Amino acid sequence: MKVFCGIDWSERHHDIALVDEHGQLIDKRRIGDDLEGFAVLVDMLAAAGDNVDEPIPAAIETPRGLLVAALRATGRRVYSINPMAVARYRERYAVSRKKSDHIDAMVLANNILRTDAHAHRALPADSELVQAVAVLARAHQDTTWRRTRASNELRSLLREYFPGFLAAFAGRKGYLTSPDARAVLAIAATPAGAAKLSRTRIAAALRRGGRQRGVDELAAELHEALRRPQLRQLPMVEAAMGTQALALLATLNVECASVDQLTEATSEAFRRHPDHEIVTSFPGLADVTGARVLAEIGDDRTRFADARALKAYAGSAPVTRASGRNVSITHRKVKNDRLAAAGYLWSFVAATHAEPAKQHYQRRRDHGDRHPAALRNLFNRLLGCLHHCLATNQVYDPARAFSQLTPARP
């Protein structure tokens, strides 16, 4: 007898429902979110006929957490179902829209796993190493986004009372996130304070920030730039804004340090993975961007049936909507946002530095695509090549990837 398990997840407890192949409820229970609760769940599954050869599959509304990790460690198939999809399934059988935790567990076990398991994808059987890479790569991506947000907030504030500081560092590498800019702003948070700085103090701040070469020359440039006349706020307002800027600077310093730390940890973990050589052979994929891509696609070769499935998952493949004589082709909005963001950087760098990719991008632009659409098309092409290289265990070959653009070999 086949048995299916549905788990309605919450932070403090979980509702469990077990149904058989005919949809009859076998057992139900509420367990805690702890080791004792998981032990109760294991006993329920064992009483329902769970064994090593045919473990009972489980459906739950989240892809992460200790409970999910423990279930995956038992070797069973675990299906992560979007809560909105569960709500749509619930409405198929209850037009009154009544809801309870037990009903959701029943919907997961009976209406989703028992009847529509073929339409859903189980969590991939990724290796422990790639799961660790995913944790670090996603943390690095989140920290990078927070650093950008903190930098933008600081820039917006400086525009209101200290545009001369922005002009002094405009065009320099890193802009406000650079150690030079952050070190100088720490001692010159207001135009009044910056005007009193000497070259010696500016040079000392640059050295504290880590600069070793060209310190005196840069200090002289900044000394002149920070003394140029500009519009000013009232003295007390200017001082208050300077205090606010120092508070934002403290946040930016933390985020910059976190990015540096996670960059090293992510690169170190990614270099240990067997797919590192294949992934980084592609133009535009270095240690960090390559780790982000591998983190989202994983190393379970059975996860995607073909390259089209991977492209749809990444959002690079367009969506065709047809009804009668109306046909529209648009970009895919439901996708893995992390992989799509990494793909944008990947294709942008490839189109800038790799000649075959640049030719492909320009051909799409000449065809009428705008910049984002042309990059998505290039990402779509590169992603298909990556799927093939990983499946066949070979590195990237631009002559084969863009055979229609590169001359034939003699």
Q: For residue 406, is it within any domain?
A: no
Domain interval for residue 394: 277-401
- For tokens 């700085």, the residue is 197
Span of 33-47, 255-269, 320-334 with lowest mean pLDDT: 320-334
Residue 112 in tokens: 């989703």
Contact predicate 109/17, CB 8 Å: yes
Same structural domain, 183 and 241: yes
Please, where are the H alpha helices in 188-228?
191-195, 199-208, 215-225
Q: For residue 409, is it within any domain?
A: no
Predicted local distance difference test score (pLDDT) of residue 405: 54
Q: Which residues pair with 60 in a beta bridge?
A: 7, 80
Which of 173, 274, 257, 181 is closest to 222 using CA atoms? 181
Same structural domain, 114 and 155: no
Same structural domain, 115 and 136: no
Predicted local distance difference test score (pLDDT) of residue 408: 43
Which of 197, 202, 187 is closest to 242 using CA atoms? 187
Name the domain count of the chain. 3
- Name the band, by pLDDT with cuts 50, 70 and 90, for residue 141: very high
Predicted local distance difference test score (pLDDT) of residue 410: 40
Same structural domain, 263 and 304: no
Residue 207 in tokens: 């050295």
Same structural domain, 287 and 369: yes
Q: Which residue, of 96, 123, 150, is where some domain finishes?
A: 123
Contacts of residue 378, Cβ cutoff 8 Å, sequence gap at least 6: 347, 350, 351, 357, 360, 361, 364
Same structural domain, 10 and 36: yes
- Name the band, by pLDDT with cuts 50, 70 and 90, for residue 402: confident
Q: For residue 311, is it within any domain?
A: yes
Same structural domain, 149 and 249: yes
Specify the long-range contacts of residues 19-23, CB closer than 8 Å, at least 24 apart: 19/106, 19/109, 19/110, 19/114, 21/114, 23/110, 23/114
Tens of pLDDT along 74-85?
989 999 998 888
Q: For residue 264, is it within any domain?
A: yes
Mean pLDDT of the chain: 92
Percent of the chain with pLDDT over 90: 80
Same structural domain, 107 and 211: no
Q: For residue 352, is it within any domain?
A: yes
How large is the average pLDDT for residues 142-151?
97
Q: For residue 407, is it within any domain?
A: no
Judge residue 281's burial from the number of C-beta atoms within 10 Å of its C-beta, 0-12 exposed, 13-18 middle, 19 or more buried. middle
Tens of pLDDT along 169-179?
998 999 999 99
* DSSP per-residue string spanning 24-64: -EEEEEEEESSHHHHHHHHHHHHHTT--SSSPPPEEES-S-
Contact predicate 293/386, CB 8 Å: yes
Q: What is the DSSP letter of 178?
A: S
Please, where are the H alpha helices in 177-286?
179-187, 191-195, 199-208, 215-225, 235-271, 276-280
Same structural domain, 250 and 162: yes
Same structural domain, 117 and 141: no
Distance CA 36, CA 38 (A): 5
Reported as type and span, the H/E element at residue 5 is strand 3-8
Tens of pLDDT along 180-198?
999 999 999 999 999 999 9
Is the predicted pLDDT of residue 406 greater than 70, yes or no? no
- Name the band, by pLDDT with cuts 50, 70 and 90, for residue 100: confident
Is the predicted pLDDT of residue 101 greater than 90, yes or no? no
Distance CA 321, CA 328 (A): 5
Is the predicted pLDDT of residue 138 greater than 70, yes or no? yes
- Cα separations in angstroms, 362 against 311, 357, 398: 21, 9, 16
Q: For residue 229, is it within any domain?
A: yes
Same structural domain, 144 and 75: no
- Name the band, by pLDDT with cuts 50, 70 and 90, for residue 99: confident
Q: Which residue, of 98, 123, 148, is where some domain finishes?
A: 123
- Cα separations in angstroms, 283 against 49, 137, 352: 51, 19, 10
Q: For residue 408, is it within any domain?
A: no
Same structural domain, 250 and 299: no
- Name the band, by pLDDT with cuts 50, 70 and 90, for residue 403: confident
Across 162-189, b (16+ Cβ under 10 Å) vs e yields bebbeebbeeeeeebbbbbbbbbbbebb
Q: Which residue, of 123, 154, 173, is where some domain finishes?
A: 123
